[in-house]
Every structure is written in C-alpha cells, then in structure tokens.
Amino acid sequence: MAPIRIRHAKGVATIQVPFENDAYTVQDLQQEIYAASQILPSRQSLKTGYPPRSLDLIPELPISSLGLKGGDQLIVGEEAHESPSRGPGTNKPAAQVQQQSKTSTPAAVSPPAVAPSASSKGPAHVSTSDGSVLVHRVVPDDNSCLFASVALIFEQNLNKASQMRQSWSLIYNPGIPKSLLLFSFKVVADGIKKDPITYNEAILGMPPSKYIDTILKPSAWGGAIELTILAAHYRTEICSIDVETGRIDQFTAGTDGGIGGMRCIVIYSGIHYDAATLAPMVDAPADWHQTVFPITSTNTSDDNILIAAKKLADFLRSQKAFTNTATFDLKCEVCGQGLKGEREARAHAEQTGHTRFGEY
C-alpha cells in the first residue's frame, strides 16, 4: 500500500493504493475517490504532474495503466456531463413454476422522477428522492432464485441459497461437522416442523413431512410459504413486487413488523425472483449496497423505498421483463410434453414427478 494525495473542490484527502495488487483497477481507485470527494466515478476527471496532465480513465484496466506511484498527487475535477444511465438486459429466465400469494391488490404507481434508460449495460435502476438508486440485482436463473435473492439480501452471499433449504435433520445429525452446522440456515424446513398448526397439510397441499423432503431438493421451487417463513426467521418484512401487475405482497415479520421494523424488497417476474437494493450509484461495489430498510409507513404508497420499487417494477414491465404464468407455453424437458401455464405444469409434475420445464 502506498499513499496518494487527492485535491478536490471540498478539500484534500489521502488514500492508500495497493499498487502491488494487479487486481486493483482504475474503477477501484475511482470508488476510493468517490468516498473521499462524493464525485461520481462517471463524472470524475483526474490530472497529475506539473504542468497537470489529464489521465485516461478506463475503469476495467489495472491501476498500473495510469502510470501513478506512491506519493503522487491527483487533482480531481467534476465533469459537467454525466454518462448515460444504465438499464437492464432483457433476457428472460428459463421457466420455473413459483408459488405466489394473490392477496394484495395492485397499488397506485406514480411515474418515476428520473426515468431509467433502456441501455444494455448494467442493471435496471431508478433514482430515489434522496439521490440514491434502487438497483435490480439479478440472481442466477435456477430453482433456487428465491433463496438466492434472500441470501443476497440477508447474507450478502449467493452461495448460501442452498443452505437456506437445510432442515432440522442437519442440526440433530451428529455426523454433520460442527462447522457446517454453524452455517446451516435450517430456515424453511425447520420453520414448517416447528409450527405444524400453521403449516398443516391443507396449507401445504401435502403432508408436512413430504413438503419438507420436497423443499430440500434443488429442483423444488420456493414461493409464498417460504417467504412467510423467511420473513419470520429474519424478523424482517419481505415485500414481493409483481412486475406484471405492480402488486405488492407483504410477508410480515410477525410481532416485529410495522413502523420501527425493517423490510426488504424482492422482484417477482412471474417465474423468477430477484432482489432490489439501494446504492449511492448504479455501479457501486456490492458491499456499498443497503439491503434492508426501516419501515416508515404502513401505507405502501407513502414509503419512499416502496415508491422507488414500484417505479422499478414499472420500468421492468415496460421492457416486458415478466411472464404470465397462466398463459405461457411450457415444454417438459424430461418427456417433451407441451403444457399451458402454471396449472398444467403443476398437474404434470404431480402425475409424473417431472420438474424440469422450459418456456417456448
């Protein structure tokens, strides 16, 4: 690590730069400068030397591309223009049948104060009232997308998605290493086992023991039941926003819900869950993102984060980034049978045990 001194309109600062680390990029340096100066990377201009010379900033290149060394001084300016805002890719996920609560009615959606761009670069995002951005965080397109979204929000680690399926059997199995027990989330299956009155056969659609066995399989889909259990486990309200309708389904945290509690956001496309998180800028590193938010109002139309989330759903809807599960065409990837909608897919899965479907 070596120091670099930066001068900007608000003062001076010294930052430590790991010149010996080839993985440290120009973008990493720009993020450090942003932290010190509050000038967005997309608007930064950098000069060094005497007379000062401008540096060509290519974010992906290593820091060595700038020809800097420890002890150098950078003059940081702010460009008057801003790089084009970023928007989503529009690739649709492969079909997976999800459970979803239908109890909420569509909420009124106000137009965004700053409309997102439909650029192919970067994730979809919308501006919030305080100048931050709510970002669409896309998770892998597999049967664990709900668990991956929750793992991203609460654990900042997508690799923990499969662990969230783990059941009480891990906890009480003496053959499981202690280190694995500490990182086993035993959330969903354990929640069902601990509350047999709520999660009975009528609610689950099958005996609880069978449901537990099913949800532990990688091919099983998660939905409303799982969101209810996860919200209670993390003592955080989970708001699921349906892209097609704008409807918000609120999975409350029980006695800890309401004003003074916390909430998070997942985005539901009809066949896929993603997360929504808050960042100071769209290209901020992952550890700068805020993933849970204070509940400031029981009225979803008055909560600033939910207002932004509805704007984000509006934008995704305008990009056709949703699937109507009642009418979409599916094909069983096991036997090749054509199916129409979620209902036929579920019936086929129950009759045959086939759980791999593709949309066409």
CB-neighbour burial class of residue 56 (10 A; exposed 0-12, middle 13-18, buried 19+) = exposed
Which letter does DSSP use for residue 162 in this model? G
**At 137, which amino acid appears?**
R
Q: Which of 147, 156, 135 is nearest to 96 (CA)?
A: 147
**Which residue among 272, 283, 289, 332 is the active-site one?**
272
Catalytic annotation present for 348: no
Distance CA 140, CA 138 (A): 7
Q: How far is CA 163 from the centre of its chain?
A: 18
Catalytic annotation present for 272: yes
Catalytic annotation present for 233: no
**Which residue among 145, 239, 264, 332 is the active-site one?**
145
Distance CA 5, CA 283 (A): 24
> In whole angstroms, how far apart are CA 147 and each of 66, 164, 257?
41, 7, 21
DSSP H helix total and E strand total for the chain: 10, 15
DSSP string, 313-352: HHHHHHTT----TTT-EEEETTT--EEEHHHHHHHHHHHH
Catalytic annotation present for 256: no
> In whole angstroms, how far apart are CA 322 and each of 179, 221, 233, 251, 349?
40, 17, 29, 21, 23
**Which residue among 72, 141, 142, 213 is the active-site one?**
142
Q: Which residues are catalytically annotated?
A: 142, 145, 272, 354
